[in-house]
Structure 1
Amino acid sequence: MLTFSRELVMREHAGMLLWAFLVGLSFPVVGWLEALPPLTLTALRFAIACAGLWWLARRSAGFWPAWRTLPIYGVMGLCLAGFFSAMFWAAHHATAISMATLYVTVPLLAYAMGLVLGVERRAWRMPAVLLLGACGALLLALAEAVVKGGSFRFGRGEAVFFLGCVASALYPVISKWGLARKKLSTSAAVRTFWSLAMGGVLIGALGLAVEPVGKLAAMSGKDALVLVYLGLGSSALTFWLMQHATAALTPGAVTAYGYLVPFVSMLLLFAQAPGTISWIWLPGSLLVVLTIALLASGRAGR
């Protein structure tokens, strides 16, 4: 397994902190969009992201992938398509607390699949730290459920969303596997571009098949601006940060920053409704912050 300088590793951890902030911020922004076809909107969002990455990726060596690497990018795109498709479908068939609870499994799934593909170290500390973070994120989800209302259940919608979580966890694992075997470009921009392009094509094809695409005609100027922001500021930048970190960090460590997303959402909730601040948020917050501190210190991988 490749080793990297401490400075580089810390820089990637800092990048993933920015990733968590951007992802946490994108959830309320998505709510600004009108009731438009979600899969088609995601395909457009990915297309905008690819357009923004084009100038950076095009200048990198090995921009055009070899034929033998196309299946790998196809699997990565399928992971993105699988997660977003499952998320949008489950949003109408599962409770928010159920989805938030299931999503905390992603880092542990990524670690397990990383072990199978040989891109994770067999050490007890990493799964222990990931489990700690999962407990913290779960406590934050439960606190939000107490404040906003909601309950956990496991039905067809939750089962589909869990499959989406598996696809999400597999994305950085395949990226790390391809990098370790020199099958993918060393440029994070190139890897991000082609995985988003493949995912966008797959999601777009599914959207054309199952959604009333004609509703896009109702898109307002505000919707278009929000979509451009999500494409450039969320999709392009966040997936680039994830791909950049994947080169130096393990899949489990990269996906563990997803535990910070409910923490960021909590801070946004406090800013909008200060009356929701209470001790109920403290246990989960402390566990999540401790998890990230352990990951950044390098102790989790020993």
Structure 2
Amino acid sequence: MLLWAVLVGLSFPAVGLMSEGLPPLLLTAVRFAIAALAVWPLLLGQPERWPSLPGLLLYAVMGLCLAGFFGAMFWAAHRASALSMATLYVSVPLMAYGLGRRLGVEQPAGRMLALLLLGALGALGLAWAESGGQQGELQLRRGELLFFLGCVASALFPVLSKWGLKNGWLARQAVPRTFWSLVVGGLLIAVLGLFWEAPQALSRMSPSDLLILAYLGIFSTAATFWLLQRATALLTPGAITAYSYLVPFVSMLVLFGEQPQRIGWQWLPGSVLVILSIGLLLRQENGTTT
């Protein structure tokens, strides 16, 4: 999951290099298609490469979660502030823990809850630093409310994956779970894109855009989904999503490399809290496995 956080954190600067005006949902659908094609050769050697009927239904629900999150994120991008969205997103690990408790894939653990709260405070500190230390009010207008529902869908995805694995609905190997999540999720996101966006806008993609999209599809999507599914067999949803607190930290390091003049004390509190929470989480996981 540390590698997962690094790959996801590096994906944001890569996305920023793409041309403006391209349809984001359709780009995401193409990105998922590239990722599925990258995973497909690995699927051929798997004993459980075809999902069962209950598994296919669960993949459909998981695909709706992916489509709901990406659809809400892109719709809210022009209706909510970046600080509001970052603030709402830190609730994902906490919601994953709560939903996991409801579905029986999380155990009552006050220590885990404390670690999630500590990481959430650190992530909020990094969001505050990114905003330039400006005060911001979180108002649940339509944009924020829809993005919050998207965050609920994002939190539900690893919970459903863990629940399906626990009940034998999903393949035991990570590769089939990765492939079918990408395929079903990509199809549903493409439907949203065709409904909200203009497909002809994809024709404006330059060769560099195609190279960046291929990188995002293979490394930031296929690899991260596979790592996520690998972790699902070993960790709880709350522990898995807690590593998302490292993503803004990785993006911060990239920002410092590009704009060293932005280094300041305001980044320190959030960074310390995030590193502390992840370090305590790793220590707890090592203690559990031993």
On whether the aligned pair clears a TM of 0.5, the verdict is yes
2:177 is paired with a residue whose SS is helix
- Alignment map for 1:196-207 (pairs within 5 Å): 196-207=182-193
* Aligned-partner SS, 1:118: coil
Counterpart in the other structure of 1:50: 36
Is the counterpart of residue 18 in structure 1 residue 7 in structure 2? no
Instruction: Say if 1:140 and 1:262, in contact at 8 Å, map to a contact too.
Output: yes
Matched, 1:265 2:251: yes
Residue 125, structure 1, aligned to residue 111, structure 2: yes
2:203 corresponds to 1:217: yes
Aligned equivalent of 1:173, options 150, 159, 181 = 159
* AA at the equivalent of 1:19: W
Displacement of 1:225 in angstroms is 0.8
Shift in Å at residue 151 of structure 1?
3.3
User: How many corresponding residue pairs?
Assistant: 286
1:80 aligns with 2:63: no
Q: Work out whether 1:276 is the aligned partner of 2:262.
A: yes
Amino acid at match of 1:183: W
Question: Structure 1: where are the runs of 5+ without partners?
Answer: 1-15
Deviation track 1:114-163 (CA, whole Å, cap 9, x = no partner) reads 0000000112111111001000110111111126x683432211111111
Equivalences for residues 12-161 of structure 1 within 5 A: 16-34=1-19, 35-146=21-132, 151-154=136-139, 155-161=141-147
Question: 2 CA distance for matches of 1:164 and 1:225?
Answer: 29
Q: Aligned AA for 1:132?
A: L
Partner of 2:278: 292
Who is 1:10 aligned against? none
TM-score, structure 2 as length reference: 0.95
1:234 corresponding residue in structure 2: 220
Give aligned-pair identity as a percent.
60
Q: 1:187 aligns with which of 173, 176, 182?
A: 173
1:17 corresponds to which letter in structure 2? L
Give the unaligned 5+ runs of structure 2.
none
Question: Relative to 1, partners in 2 of residues 1:300 and 1:143: Cα closer, same or farther, differing over 3 Å?
Answer: farther
Distance 2:262 2:197 in 1: 38
Contact 1:294 1:300 in 2 (8 A): no
Offset of residue 208 of structure 1: 1.1
The answer to whether the 8 Å contact 1:77/1:200 transfers is yes
* Deviation at residue 207 of structure 1 after TM alignment: 1.0
Provide Cα deviations, 1:3-43, integer angstroms capped at 9, x if missing partner.
xxxxxxxxxxxxx1111111111011111222211111111
Cα separation, 1, equivalents of 2:30 and 2:285: 40
Q: Deviation digits for residues 67-100 of structure 1, max 9, x if unmatched?
A: 1211111111111111111111111111111111
CA displacement at 1:299 relative to structure 2? 6.4
| Secondary structure in 2 matching 1:298 | helix
C-alpha deviation, 1:58, in angstroms: 2.1
Report the CA distance shift for 1:93/1:141 in structure 2 as closer, same or farther (over 3 A).
Answer: same
- Alignment partner of 1:146: what SS? coil
Instruction: Please tell me whether the aligned partners of residues 96 and 150 of structure 1 are also in contact (alpha carbons under 8 angstroms).
Output: no
| Equivalent AA in structure 2 for residue 181 of structure 1 | N
SS at match of 1:122: coil
Distance 1:184 1:301, change over 3 A: farther
Q: Aligned partners of 2:246, 2:89: CA distance in 1, in Å?
A: 12
Matches of 1:227 and 1:292 in 2, distance apart?
30
Letter in 2 for 1:103: Y
Partner Cα distance (1:253, 1:276) in 2: 31
RMSD: 1.5
CA distance in 1, matches of 2:112, 2:286: 5
8 Å contact from structure 1 (residues 45, 227) kept in 2: yes
Tell me, what secondary structure is at the counterpart of 2:109? coil
Q: Is the 8 A contact 1:125 1:300 kept in 2?
A: no
